[in-house]
Amino acid sequence: MHDLYDLTGKRALVTGGGSGIGRAVAQAFRDAGARVAIAGNRVDELQATARDIGASALPADLGSRKAAEALADAALQDLGGVDMLVSNAGVEGPLTGTLGLDERDYMRTFDVNLHAATWLSAALIPGMATVGGGSIILMASLAALRGNKAIGTYAMTKAALAQLARNI
C-alpha cells in the first residue's frame, strides 16, 4: 500500500456502514489500516458487515440529536477516539414535491440526512481538535445542485450538507 493511503493508527466512524457506499468506505479504511466502527439501523445487516470487514458494529437510528450524541459517545468508547467521521447515513424521504408533503416524513428526512451529521460533527470536533485535527466527510448528492420534484426534500437535505461542510 502506498504511504499516502496508510491509515494505520487512525479511527473511523462510518454511518450507514452496513451496505452500499458506507460499506465500501468502511472496507477501504480497514484495508488501509484504520480501526473502523460502522453504524446503522438495520442491525442484522450491520453486524454481518462488521464481521465481514473486521469492524465494530454500533446500532443506531439517527432520527434525533440524542441518538446522534449517543452514537458519538459509543464510537469514542469503542475506538478510544475518532479521527475520521463519514456521515453517510441517509433516507430518500417523501417522493413528492413541495405540495402534499407529510410533515413527519419531511422531518425524518432532515433528521437523518442533515441533523444527525450536524450533531455528530459537533460532538466529535472537540476531540479531533485536541489531537491536532481530523476529517469529516459529509455525503451529499448531485440532487443538491438542481431542483427535483420527485425527491425535493432529499435534495434540500443534501444541499444543506454541502453548506454544513463549508461552515465547519
- By annotation, the residues acting in catalysis are 154
If DSSP codes are grouped into helix, strand and coil, which group holds residue 8?
A: coil
**Cell numbers describing residue 4:** 499516502
If DSSP codes are grouped into helix, strand and coil, which group holds residue 38?
A: strand
**Cell numbers describing residue 162:** 454541502
Return d(Cα 113, Cα 37) in angstroms, integer: 19
What phi-psi label fits residue 80: left (phi over 0), alpha (psi between -120 and 50 degrees) or beta?
left
Nearest partner of 36 among 139, 28, 129, 44, judged by Cα: 28
